[in-house]
């Protein structure tokens, strides 16, 4: 949960801000954010996606780093786009067969 909060904070301070984006990249934030995209919690992945957008906004170096074979964040981002289908399937699987009316 703390990691998600930090990712959100990182997104806030780096959004379209070249200086902060570069500083974050130098401190290894890109790899850490990319690793958060592998977390099981959708909430954390969502916040990592926020950070990715902020870090990549108008920053070619960060864009290339994120798209590199080392980080490859485009793959987990694409998986995140299919969340709705997964969520709907889980809802169908665990919906009670009948409801007891009060």
How many residues are given for the chain? 102
Does the footprint of other proteins cover residue 39 (CB under 8 A)?
no
Exactly one of 5, 35, 42, 89 binds other proteins (CB under 8 A); that residue is 42
Does the footprint of other proteins cover residue 52 (CB under 8 A)?
yes
| Residue-by-residue DSSP string for 27-62 | TTHHHHHHHHTT-S-HHHHHHHHHHHHHHHTT-HHH
Exactly one of 18, 38, 75, 88 binds other proteins (CB under 8 A); that residue is 75
Does the footprint of other proteins cover residue 66 (CB under 8 A)?
yes
Exactly one of 9, 13, 23, 81 binds other proteins (CB under 8 A); that residue is 81
């Amino acid at each position: 949960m703390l990691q998600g909060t930090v990712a959100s904070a990182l997104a806030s301070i780096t959004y379209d801000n070249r200086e902060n984006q570069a500083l974050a990249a130098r401190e290894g934030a890109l790899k850490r954010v990319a690793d958060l995209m592998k977390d099981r919690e959708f909430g954390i992945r969502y916040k990592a996606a926020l950070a990715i957008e902020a870090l990549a906004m108008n920053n070619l170096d960060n864009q290339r780093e994120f798209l590199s074979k080392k980080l490859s964040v485009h793959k987990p981002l694409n998986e995140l786009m299919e969340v709705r289908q997964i969520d709907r399937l889980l809802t169908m699987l665990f919906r009670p067969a009948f409801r007891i009316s009060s």
